[in-house]
Structure 1
Amino acid sequence: MNTEQLSHFLLNLYDAVPALGVEQFTRHAFGHLQTLLRFDSGGYVQFSAAENQQLRMTSASAFNIDAERKLRLRMEMLGYEKMHDLRELVSSDPLIQAGFRCPQTAVHGHAGDFGEKHLKDYAVATEALNTLTMVLPSSNGYPMQTLSLWRAKSSARYTSVQCRLANAVLPHIFRAFLTNRELHVGKLYGSQQHSLISGLNGQIMYVDPALSALMFRHYPDWRPPFLPERLHRLLLADFSGVIQDGTLQVRWRQEHGLLFLSLTEVRIQLPLSPAENRVAQLLSEGLSYKEIARTLGNQPATVRNQAHQVYEKLGISGKAALMRYWKTHSAAMH
């Protein structure tokens, strides 16, 4: 591929980023790439680390394969990756390890070359005997990403020429995938963080980098890249577009067969006692502790303690914040 052909390829790719929906862009990007590298199926995956340093596939998009079946087989037959000190990746997949050691460089191999039966069994089961992979390690707030291209035929090995071509093109595919997903989340939720996109079956196709830790904390048994089962059930049973799951508020919307979610962690407010409610009301009117104490026949120290209880229960700090809060929420406090 010469410089002019590469420029034409990239213009076509980036023109599609804002124009196409998430699934349409996935098909377009992989189909566009297929004209260059001649593969049978492909996958784009984001990984995030849980507290135990275990890496999980937090989102995945696939081309020409049953994504749910492949992902579940991978978890069952290869297990999860682990990260040590952000420098060493431990994986049953030798190409992911090789790609991690040589980031942004295409690596390739045949499943039979690694000498391990479970790897060949997995490759046969998922029609991926020959694989070309590139890994982008986590940086600038983004999680580790991989892009893999699979060939089903044992004889269809990748060449060094194709790897050089992949080195020129795949970094742009990574950037285009992320930008496409961020644009479509932004159209629905603006710049709000903690957003994700999934299929109706719960398979996550994009997750905001800030969201993974929140999800692991609220759903200890979460097995990405699928939505937590409890959250998925709540979404399928809801038609309002807003649900509360513990301290998570979830706004969601179904569009083009996909679920677009925005998750926010909210503080559960404890009810005020009658005495605290009266103190809060008087504080909101601008009275001092001494003035409130005279009004209620209490000591200023007692009023001060009650005021601090009010601030803590409402999740606010100080009298000015209380006055703003009371102005918009006082009806609900009575």
Structure 2
Amino acid sequence: MDLNTYLLGLYRATHELAPDQFVKFAFNHTGDLLSFDSARLMAVEVIGSKGQVHAAMTHNEPDSLHLDWEAISKQDTVLRAVTAAPGKAFNFNARYLYAEPEQLVVRDYATRYSHENGLVIAALNPVTGYWDGLSLYRARSADQFSKDEQTLLELIAPHLRQAVTQAMQHHGEVAEPSDAMAIIGANGVLKYCSPAFVDLVRVEFPDWRDHSVPAPIVAALSQTGVQSFGGAKVKVNVHRHGSLLFVRAANSCPLARLSTQELKVARMFSAGYSYKEVAQKLNLAPATVRNVIQRVYAKLDICGKAELATLVSHATIKAR
């Protein structure tokens, strides 16, 4: 298969396949062009000299891989190499790369997961601030990647990342930067998550580290017929798409959806003030107040002052 055929097939599949089917197809399709035994697409946050995995899509890799890699990431030469040269593929043989005694722990990791040869490339995602990395591995030490394959990966990696995003967008599954959304496997392991999802879930679970969603959420969503998890501070809704769960988190208090101005106007209006009185007190035009109230109704999915008063009153009671 030539490069043009590969790209046409890749982008065509973004419209034809569901997201979970597309990821499997993309790895297999790439393997027809550039052979490998296992692979992973990861979103990694680099903190100091260590890496933290925020999301991953894998091919022939166990779920334990990500936690084990994080434990040795500070010593992993590959992480430093690909972040120092974005868009350039790093080609390595583990036996030679990790030959020094102080690198034994990384060498053991590579042996355990059959990463005897690797071809790795990364690019900084300007939206998330994470490094989007693509890693291909071969299990036999003698089966090294060539320089031509290194160049080929540099050509296809941006297209593969774009195609994955496009496939999710086509099915309405990719979050905006401010959208608290994640894609998880049935066992709770994260396949994708937005930074906003991380921030919001940590409101409910402050000590959570995002390799898999917190156990109480997994337990709730795994029950037959259950479509949401309701915590004290955060609510998580889910819908299933094949083997994947697409979840979105939101603040349990509906008023959290409002801006500071909208909240001030809503509280005064629900307390009995007229449009004109609210406008005078907040130094706004009456027409502006009327428009703000309409936005508040739309955001809260309500249609009148009585419903607004009930929501504001309920939120005030909970806050006490």
TM-score by length of structure 2 reads: 0.76
User: Contact 2:128/2:177 (CA < 8 Å) preserved in 1?
Assistant: no
Cα RMSD of the aligned pairs, angstroms, is 3.5
2:307 corresponds in structure 1 to 328
Q: Equivalents in 1 of 2:308, 2:212: separation in Å?
A: 37
2:89 corresponds in structure 1 to 106
Q: Equivalents in 1 of 2:17, 2:60: separation in Å?
A: 18
Shift of 1:46: 0.8
1:73 aligns with 2:68: yes
Q: Equivalents in 2 of 1:220, 1:53: separation in Å?
A: 24
Instruction: Report the count of equivalent residues.
Output: 284
- 1:121/1:243 Cα in 2 relative to 1: closer, same or farther (>3 Å)? same
Shift of 1:288: 5.1
Q: Equivalents in 2 of 1:190, 1:137: separation in Å?
A: 17
1:35 aligns with 2:22: no
- 1:190/1:30 Cα in 2 relative to 1: closer, same or farther (>3 Å)? same
1:63 corresponds in structure 2 to 59
Q: Structure 2: any 5+ residue segments left out of the alignment? A: 256-266, 283-287, 298-303, 315-320
2:116 corresponds in structure 1 to 129
Deviations along 1:269-289, whole A, 9 cap, x unmatched?
7xxxxxxx99945325x6859
- Equivalent of 2:77 in 67, 91, 94: 94
TM-score by length of structure 1 reads: 0.73
Give the counterpart letter for 2:233 in structure 1: T
- Equivalent of 1:214 in 193, 197, 200: 200
% identical equivalent positions: 22
- Equivalent of 1:242 in 228, 237, 257: 228
- 1:287/1:110 Cα in 2 relative to 1: closer, same or farther (>3 Å)? closer
Give the counterpart letter for 1:59 in structure 2: A
1:176 aligns with 2:173: no
Q: Equivalents in 1 of 2:276, 2:113: separation in Å?
A: 71
Shift of 1:142: 5.2
2:106 corresponds in structure 1 to 119
Shift of 1:226: 1.2
User: Contact 1:200/1:257 (CA < 8 Å) preserved in 2?
Assistant: yes
- 1:252/1:140 Cα in 2 relative to 1: closer, same or farther (>3 Å)? closer
Q: Structure 1: any 5+ residue segments left out of the alignment? A: 80-90, 270-276, 290-303, 308-316
Shift of 1:247: 2.3
Q: Equivalents in 1 of 2:147, 2:191: separation in Å?
A: 31
Q: Equivalents in 1 of 2:232, 2:49: separation in Å?
A: 25
Q: Equivalents in 1 of 2:27, 2:57: separation in Å?
A: 10
Shift of 1:144: 1.4
Aligned ranges for residues 215-230 of structure 1 at < 5 Å? 215-230=201-216
